[in-house]
Amino acid sequence: MSEISIAEYVARILRALPEHVTLVAAAKTRTLEEVAQAIDAGVEMVGHNYVQEAQAMIAVLGARAQWHMVGHLQSNKAGVAAELFDMIQTLDSVKLARALDRRCAQLQKVMPVLVEVNSGREEAKAGVLPEDVVAFVREISRFEHIRVEGLMTMGPFFDDPEKSRPYFRATRDAFDRLAGAGLPNVEMRYLSMGMSDSYLVAIEEGANMVRIGTSIFGPRPAAP
Ligand SMILES: *Cc1c(COP(=O)(O)O)cnc(C)c1O
């Protein structure tokens, strides 16, 4: 990256975030050294998109942070994910909920999960449609070894973050409806939305958890 260090970027972001907002460092494609630097600078939660990448890093840095799954999770990887992560932010199917529940029961743990909302109604993206969130959570609330703690959304990408606002707002509306539904095993605490470009808009729309990669670690190298 440039002359500015990861530590300095982390410090700037932590200073810019209101106190009620939690930072999750998005670590995909980053090295162990880079993530360790971010943790040293005050990052307490690290998000991963891939189980294998997370596995290697958690083996070394595990005790020094909390680990969140923020990428799409296939149910056949749910067992490993249940062992590795402190939170799954991308719950999007009953099948995945069942697989996580089963493994967490064996591990005698209760996994905090966020339901991923497909706020942009994009064919190619995972997630539950905003209007289906309450019914979906009602269906999975019978699983006693996962606990719904909020919602997460990506939203469509725009060059102008202001264009993300309606999608953040729709997710916030779903959050409020779900909080009002009073379902068992549901404790609405986190609204995870906003990335490097869009987190200020997301916070204005109610986010209290932001997932930031580029603004901590610099631009990702282009895919080979
Ligand atoms: C990469 C990623 C982020 C962070 O994106 P940046 O633009 O690099 O800040 C946040 N959330 C998810 C799910 C991601 O995959």
Q: Is 86 exposed, middle or buried (0-12, 13-18, 19+ CB in 10 A)?
A: middle
Q: Is 195 in the pocket of ligand 1 (CB under 6 A)?
A: yes
Cα(194) to centroid(ligand 1), Å: 8
Please state whether beta strands 186-192 and 87-91 pair in parallel, antiparallel, or not at all (unpaired): unpaired
Q: Is 157 in the pocket of ligand 1 (CB under 6 A)?
A: no
pLDDT (tens digit, 9 = 90+) per residue, 20-32?
A: 999 999 999 999 9
Residue 113 pLDDT grade (very low, low, confident, very high; cuts 50, 70, 90) = very high
Question: What's the pLDDT at 223?
Answer: 63
pLDDT (tens digit, 9 = 90+) per residue, 2-54?
A: 578 999 999 999 999 999 999 999 999 999 999 999 999 999 999 999 999 99
Task: Report the atom number in ligand 1 closest to the C-alpha of 70.
Answer: 13
Residue 224 pLDDT grade (very low, low, confident, very high; cuts 50, 70, 90) = low
Cα(74) to centroid(ligand 1), Å: 19
Q: Is 213 in the pocket of ligand 1 (CB under 6 A)?
A: yes
Testing ligand 1's pocket by substitution, the residue of 17, 88, 167, 195 carrying the most ligand atoms inside 8 A of its CB is 195
